[in-house]
Amino acid sequence: MSNYNNIGNVFQKNDNINLECSNISLAKLKTTNSTLNSKNQEILNNDVNYVDNENNLDYILNKSISDSINKKKNQATQSAASLNSKKEMKLYPKYGFKVSQNYTIKEIIGKGSYGTVAAAIETSYGAQVAIKKVTNIFTRDILMKRAIRELKFMRYFKGHKNIVNLLDLEIVFDKGYDGLYCYQEMVDYDLARVIHSSVQFSEFHIQHFFYQIMCGLKYIHSADVIHRDLKPGNILCSIQGTLKICDFGLARGINEDLFEKIKSESGVQSHITSYVATRWYRAPELMLCRKKYSKAVDIWACGCILAEFYGRKPIFMGNDQMHQIVEILKVLGTPKTETIMKYGSSVAVEIFTLPKPQYGKMPWKTIYSFASDRGLDLIEKMLKWDSDLRLTCDEVLQHSFFHDIRNEKEENVCPYGPFDFEYEQHVTSMDDLTKLLFKEVEEFKKIKANVYI
């Protein structure tokens, strides 16, 4: 049985795709460097430039921080100085970066409301790295919480081949350079650039790519964590065709036993926000009700990604939340009455019942006439109005779509058990959050130092 590790250089720098697998020989498919390497290429789904006010933290959060934060910031500066005291730092005023002396920044490769990503070289070994500078975390507690969550998740999932690897951390307080610096492995492209390029995909490509996404997601879900922002722009793709899930800023632990423990100890029911996921990949339950949601929101997003592999553009491209629902309606048809009732919201009733237009379901074969029956069947079972009817990660991996390439040894679960998010109940002030951030960085550095002794 084939193993996707044998996939070879999918995106050769000599402009060819060369895919080799045991007993499989596929013709080289042509593409152009200008498509994949152009810095100014506009991605069709605007994963980089798209602004969604419903997901924009500046839109969601309209709060100011008291003057006391500055005092706490000064205290934290002293801690940061001790963390970095043994390192000489290098300034890059043009980019607003201050990095360890053994790194040389080459260029900025990504920007967003959450921070900036730079491509760099580790000069001792010549290794390429990506440095993600997370900004504004010392002035907004929600951004600090998000940074701590991402850091904890990257440490928790470190080592899985389909999840991006965290290499080093720094905290900088110098004005103009301040932020949390996450040094990560460099991966050549994000999946959005690959999907929306002129590279041709065979069924074999799609199977291997999607299998890796689901292996990474199984590992995440096995720790009772939902990513909540899966999309092609948050999945990286190497020259060799290895995919890695990244950007855990919106991820969340959802273990029910921990929720009950927190409730019994504090008397407070934990709440998880619905303001997650980029709109085009957002599950309908996130838009139609405020009930607790599940891992099924990630399955929906992955179903959208699988459809995008075939169509080379997002399947549901709404301009706003209401338009997004309409785009889904045009394909999936009007949901059954029992599904509408399960949403438990007047919004769902108003949108789906008469006198509003009623839609019939569109056959997937009419949308993707060239796609395999197995691929379309998998899309069908992942994109369901009713989240309870969607496949789980395990069920997706067992689907016949992967029959020819599946390797169960690659389908690992997280060995550490459910992710413990109980700490969130005990760090409520900016001072607590800052101390926790430094603790996380110090622990990471200690573990890293022990590894290299």
Residues labelled as active-site residues: 229
Cis peptide before 93 (omega within 30 of 0): no
Q: Take residue 171 and report the two structure tokens written for it.
A: 């905290």
- Note the Cα 355 to chain centre separation in Å: 39
CB 382 within 8 A of CB 391: yes
The amino acid sitting at 171 is: I
Give the residue ranges of DSSP H helices in 98-253: 141-156, 191-195, 203-222
Q: Rounded distance, CA 193 to CA 126, Å?
A: 26
Rg from Cα positions in the chain: 23
Q: Rounded distance, CA 128 to CA 246, Å?
A: 17
CB 204 within 8 A of CB 19: yes
In the DSSP assignment, the letter for residue 387 is: G
CB 218 within 8 A of CB 241: no
Angle among Cα 133, 251, 7 to the nearest 5 degrees reads 80
According to DSSP, the β-strands at 115-122 and 103-112 are: antiparallel
SS3 21: strand
Q: Take residue 49 and report the two structure tokens written for it.
A: 């430039």
Helix H or strand E segment including 90: strand 89-92
Q: Rounded distance, CA 275 to CA 286, Å?
A: 8
From the number of C-beta atoms within 10 Å of its C-beta (0-12, 13-18, 19+), residue 348 rates as: buried
Q: Take residue 398 and report the two structure tokens written for it.
A: 């067992």
CB 245 within 8 A of CB 216: yes
Q: What is the DSSP string of 290-335?
A: -S---THHHHHHHHHHHHHHHHSS-S---SSHHHHHHHHHHHH-SP
